[in-house]
Amino acid sequence: MEIPMSDLLEPGKVARMACRMWQGVQTVSINVQVLSFSSSLFLYVQVFRDKRNGSHQREANRSRPWKPEYMGKANLHVFEDWCGSSTQQLRKNPHYPLYPNSRITVKKLAVSPMWTNYGLRIFGYLHPRKSGEYLFAVASDDGSEFWLSLDSSPLNLHLQASVGRAGMDWTAPGEFNKYASQISFPVHLSAEDFYFFEVIHKQNDRGTDHLEVAWRVNQDRTPFEIIGSEHISMYIDETDLKLHEVSHIPQTPASSFHWRTYARVSSHGAEMLREDPRDSFYHVPLMSASYLRGILPVCPYRPTYLIMGYPLQRYQGIHFVHLSYVYPNDYTRLTHMETINKCLYSEDPHYLKGLGFLNYMKMDSPENGGAEQRDNEQGDRGGLGDKFLYQYEELRPESFREPPDNDIYSDEYSFVRQAPEPASTLKMVNGNPRKLLAAQVTAYNTRHLARYEPQVQQPVVNTKQSEIQRAPVQPAMNNVFLMPHGLHVHRRLRRKNRLHPPKVVTQKEYKYKDSENYETTPPIIYDPVINWVRTINVSNMDFNAFREDSIDLKCNVSGNLQMSSEVALPIVQAFMHQLNQKNWGHFTLLQVVNVERRIDRFRGSRYLLELEVQDQRGTGFRISQYVYEPRSQIRSWNRVRQPDRKGTLLCYPEGVEWNPSATVHIIVPVKNQARWVQQFIMYMEDIYKVTGDKNFNIIIVDYSSKDMDVEQALQSAHIPRYQYVKLTGNFERSAALQAGINLITDSHSIAFLCDLHIHFPHSIIDSIRKHCVEGKITFAPIIMRLDCGATPEEPDGMQGCIFISNLLLFIVFYYFFF
């Protein structure tokens, strides 16, 4: 169904056209697509911090004229909502050091805000009381550093003292002698000069937060004293400066952090950080449309999953969302987060916690045969059946059934509660074995097993009718998994004895046996015997093959569905065959960069083919083309045409053709978010600088921000186009988005609505165009929400989940048809 742009500009229709993102969920989405990222991640902080490194850094770091009114205070910059314990973790904050949450002053170098997950940067000038050698000391919970310059210049800073640069150390208030790094070497200072200093502090979410910097003259028995207001002064007065004005902030050796160097040596190991040709494919020039025109016929395209004439309620659209398949692997699966969430394996989390993946493997029979042949008795219980991915025993049966004999694992592996073991009877020699056994069992339960208070004592049982004795009663432990590292008993019940119900011993019989000379000997308790040579059998497992294309809202680590090469490569080969048949074999396929498949089980599949090819002169081109493979029973549009040599029949889906030069309008509503607005503008500057793409426009809708002049920031930015609209009143996202939509005059452009707190890869504009087809396809990304303190270089977090987060990443993209 074609939808004119003029209709989409009407009030109330913003959400239908806009590529809207809301916690990773598109309101009326049907399909999913991918924007992968890896190497582009390593650029974002460097761009953000060093964009104006030239004249800006020279101006910030030059010595400033000192004023007497600066005396008595130091500059204090606060960075909130950032996890971690080390100062190095603070330096990973994308806003550090230029864009703090607050810029205030402090009267002495000893603070305790009584808060969590923050970082502090205190800087200014130090005024010695007299000339001589000084020692400096720092104490804090958690990490801290004290830097001092040899003069008044911020460029000559040297680290003097620190606590826990790695993030594991802390001290009590005023404890200056816990670590060797806390106290500096002697430093000679002159009372006639003043010296630039900088203090960095990072506090996590535990402990009592505090920071103290002290000094003393280098003389024996001289105590450390907190550096007070009479010996410090501000670097600059920031009272009348807005938060986006940062040219005065010093970028010193203490605050700088070379992210490109860090990214190259980072050992995080997440699969999503792998190099991917998708990230830079926009650099390759597109093949001329003349080469592609006419190589495939045009066929009607009416997928069955279109939502027409069905009014959707709020949040109802998520039930119509379906994933797309991609090839090759884009590594959007968050494998590094599966220690926390193993939902991809569709296993009960309690079961996984108790037994792990034991049911995914079979134990081989030992070479000596014997009773360890359990596979015939249990069938496929330990392996994989034809119908189900896995099978397992009910962990909490209402009535326990007799377990199969299992001499490999003995009874410690059984899920079923067993009766107490009868011990053999021997003449008592010395000591009291009963007491010894009771003590051993109590110690074992304390160390290894969950303790449950039994409500009813289990009766003592004995299978030998000729002798009766008392055995220590084990406490009932309901729902406790007995693992193979439990205690082993030397003498066990024989299987034939288990077939008959044991005799219950009465209290009277207990008393009778107590008077005899026979006593029970304790079972022999020993460490488990580890079988290092036990071998196993496993089946090939591809858990992605068992996934469906519906969205699982509870599984936020799974990433995109993967398409097999058996499906993707025949489509590519068929397309290349038709391309060279029309162009006389002029092109050679260099690599398959990306194939995306949207399945319609009734009418066929649509593909987006992204191929890198080379002509006979060695010139490289990229092909980004939608094709359609209809099901054989509906190929009436081309009854005369015969399938090609591969048996694959392709066509161009009618009306599905993206515009590589369409203008993309990026609409962002803001209010009093100066540091995020400035970061967003820098992202856009960098995209323009790297790609050279002039066909995008920034529209910022500002609800009268007071912390920065947004329009002035746009005027000074190096971006191709921008528009600014100012609104008053309370912040309303929907009204702001509509105000931005109303500024668009070109009916063939694309509106992309997004949040400020996002990492934008360089390929974002090209990806938006490829997945937005006028009147057909709308594009919206699922985001990855980073954990508190995580960065794109260390991407710990979940897809589309709500976390304490300061930055979001693009991972997967939804799009749908009207």
Give per-residue pLDDT as tens, 709-720. Answer: 999 999 999 999
Residue type, 60: A
Q: Find tokens 């790695």 and name the residue.
A: 166
Region 14-36: what's the mean pLDDT?
A: 33
The predicted-structure confidence for 635-674, as pLDDT tens digits, reads as follows 444 443 444 444 568 999 999 999 999 999 999 999 999 9
Higher pLDDT, 387 or 303: 303
pLDDT at 290 over 80: yes
* Residue 329 three-state SS: coil
Beta bridge partner(s), residue 519: 426
* pLDDT score for 645: 43
Burial 726-736 (b: 16+ CB within 10 A, else e): ebeeeeeeebb
* pLDDT score for 35: 43
Q: How far apart are CA 647 and CA 524, in angstroms?
A: 71
pLDDT at 232 over 60: yes
* Residue 367 three-state SS: coil
* pLDDT score for 772: 92
* pLDDT score for 397: 43
Q: How far apart are CA 199 and CA 222, in angstroms?
A: 23
Report DSSP state, residue 751: E
In terms of phi and psi (left: phi > 0; alpha: psi -120 to 50; beta: otherwise), the region of 189 is beta
Higher pLDDT, 322 or 573: 573
Residue % of the chain over a pLDDT of 70: 66
Region 186-204: what's the mean pLDDT?
A: 94
Q: How far apart are CA 43 and CA 547, in angstroms?
A: 34
Higher pLDDT, 427 or 590: 590
Tokens of 229: 């207001």
Residue type, 99: Y
pTM of the model: 0.69
User: Which of the residue ranges 209-223, 421-435, 483-497, 524-538 would you say has the lowest mean pLDDT?
Assistant: 483-497
* pLDDT score for 636: 47
Mean pLDDT over all residues of the chain? 74
Q: How far apart are CA 759 and CA 31, in angstroms?
A: 23
Q: How far apart are CA 442 and CA 472, in angstroms?
A: 11
- Identify the band that residue 817 occupies on the pLDDT scale cut at 50, 70 and 90: very low
- Identify the band that residue 439 occupies on the pLDDT scale cut at 50, 70 and 90: low
* pLDDT score for 17: 33
* pLDDT score for 411: 44
Residue % of the chain over a pLDDT of 90: 39
* pLDDT score for 696: 95
pLDDT at 304 over 90: no
| Neighbouring C-alpha atoms within 13 Å toward the C-beta of 627 | 28
Contact predicate 788/757, CB 8 Å? no
Burial 376-405 (b: 16+ CB within 10 A, else e): eeeeebbbbeeeeebebeeeeeeeeeeeee
pLDDT at 77 over 60: yes
Q: How far apart are CA 723 and CA 174, in angstroms?
A: 54
CB atoms within 10 A of CB 107: 14
Q: Find tokens 């495939």 and name the residue.
A: 296
* pLDDT score for 534: 84
- Identify the band that residue 464 occupies on the pLDDT scale cut at 50, 70 and 90: very low
Region 495-522: what's the mean pLDDT?
A: 48
Contact predicate 198/123, CB 8 Å? yes
* pLDDT score for 545: 73
* pLDDT score for 263: 45
pLDDT at 9 over 70: no
* pLDDT score for 647: 58
The predicted-structure confidence for 591-644, as pLDDT tens digits, reads as follows 999 999 998 888 999 999 999 999 999 999 999 999 999 986 444 444 434 444
Per-residue CA distances from 813 to 3, 557, 592, 765 (Å): 22, 15, 20, 13
* pLDDT score for 52: 45
User: Which of the residue ranges 200-214, 416-430, 525-539 would you say has the lowest mean pLDDT?
Assistant: 416-430
How do the domains of the chain map onto residue ranges?
5-46+662-817, 54-250, 287-305+561-653, 336-546
CATH architecture of the domain covering 5-46+662-817: Alpha-Beta Complex (3.90)
- Identify the band that residue 368 occupies on the pLDDT scale cut at 50, 70 and 90: low
Higher pLDDT, 453 or 176: 176
pLDDT at 188 over 80: yes
Contact predicate 757/809, CB 8 Å? no
User: Which of the residue ranges 355-369, 464-478, 648-662 would you say has the lowest mean pLDDT?
Assistant: 464-478
Region 271-289: what's the mean pLDDT?
A: 89
Region 701-730: what's the mean pLDDT?
A: 92
pLDDT at 404 over 50: no
Q: Check if CATH label 3.30.365.10 holds for domain 54-250.
A: no
The CATH number for 287-305+561-653, chosen from 2.60.40, 1.20.1250, 3.90.75, 3.10.450, is 3.10.450
* pLDDT score for 62: 59
- Identify the band that residue 307 occupies on the pLDDT scale cut at 50, 70 and 90: confident
User: Which of the residue ranges 157-161, 501-505, 519-523 would you say has the lowest mean pLDDT?
Assistant: 501-505
The predicted-structure confidence for 78-129, as pLDDT tens digits, reads as follows 999 999 899 988 998 889 999 999 999 999 999 999 999 999 999 999 999 9
Region 428-456: what's the mean pLDDT?
A: 53
